[in-house]
Amino acid sequence: MLRKSWWKIASFILLLYTCSYGFLVPVPSPPGVPLKETIRNLFFHVPMWIAMMVCFTVSVVYAIKYLRKQSVKDEIYSTEFVRTGNMLGILGLVTGMIWANYQWGKPWSGDAKQNGTAIALLIYFAYFVLKGSLQDEEKQARIGAVYNVFAYFMLFPCIWILPRLAESLHPGGLGSEGNPGLNPKDTTNSMRSVMYPAFIGWTLISVWITTLRIRVRLIQQKQLAYE
């Protein structure tokens, strides 16, 4: 039992480490960039995006598997990973808005990265609206899987490509340096000692949450089959 749960224990320990040492680790304040203590949001905001991308990637893999094999189990996996990805996307957006309020003076400034993220999440929200509008379960699963593939390939232009081609307050847009989500010059080795475990911890906890929801869905599916 312990061997099967090691990654769950690891996720708890990594997030406990992130949420404690993340507020104690020394942080830099680069010249001309008034990050100060707000840079600690890096341990939450960016890892949530990474975990979101993992969830959406796993979801689209199961969507393609469903289109090939028509397995109800694959459809359940695909749907629940989208659900968790949306939750992480909302949390990433909210933490980004909190950071922006301190860094840029207001939570929403119409930045290319912010707008692209909002569009990407709305596309994924429409996934559930589309599925909910269909009564036939087989049609719901099939059309949902096709839409999932579409949504995934819209995710990259909205979050990773377009912000690099437009004027952006995020590092990496036109007229700035680095990556749109992270400027390596703003981090130190001590910060990376928290940031990398945070990437793993948030990803593992998102998978854990999803597997719990999948387990519930599978039990419900069995109960419906018996009825």
d(CA 49, CA 19): 17
Mean pLDDT of 3-7: 79
Please state the domain extents for the chain. 32-226
Q: Report helix angle 45-69 to 72-103, nearest 10.
A: 160
- The type of residue at 80 is E
Provide the pLDDT for residue 180. Answer: 46
DSSP 168-207: -SSTTSBT--SBTTB-GGG--HHHHHHHHHHHHHHHHHHH
Q: How far is CA 135 from the centre of its chain?
A: 29
pLDDT tens per residue across span 51-98: 999 999 999 999 999 999 999 999 999 999 999 999 999 999 999 998
